[in-house]
A and B are shown apart, each in its own frame.
Chain A
């Protein structure tokens, strides 16, 4: 089967750095994605890692270690607008996405 584990909630203050971890178990692995979803909104794509290492996109970075079946999303210089749910997702062998249950990030002033 396939499953992903990520923390259910994380709280941080404005300007801080936060890391959201994701561990996965899959029968086939083709990449780890991250999506952001604000309350009442649709999920939007943040990043994708197919190979080990760090991918940086502005204030957001995503890391993957395939040997550890582990990845994380790093958010730097947190802003209030970053308050949202963040989902890791694994692309299975047939191309469909399997999502984790999401991490609700609350950014406090």
Chain B
């Protein structure tokens, strides 16, 4: 079974600053996917960024980027030039690759980090 750990229950930064959210995971799988989801006050789950474990290059999406360290099983999210609209819960999640075998699995989530962007 997989576990995902987010060690920062809450973080607060000033608008325009850069912030990094940490995530570590534990798995015996070699092929998998990692995700960061954003949950604003509307409660909608919004995919922020996705990383495939077999790709060494870190994924980026505009102001969002990850630092994926496969050997260390670490997957942190960096938000540059933070904006008030970035205030939300952020969840790190793990999914096994289709060809990993074994039973079907969905997403395994961390407990979340509540990010507050101060004006």
**Real binding pair:** no
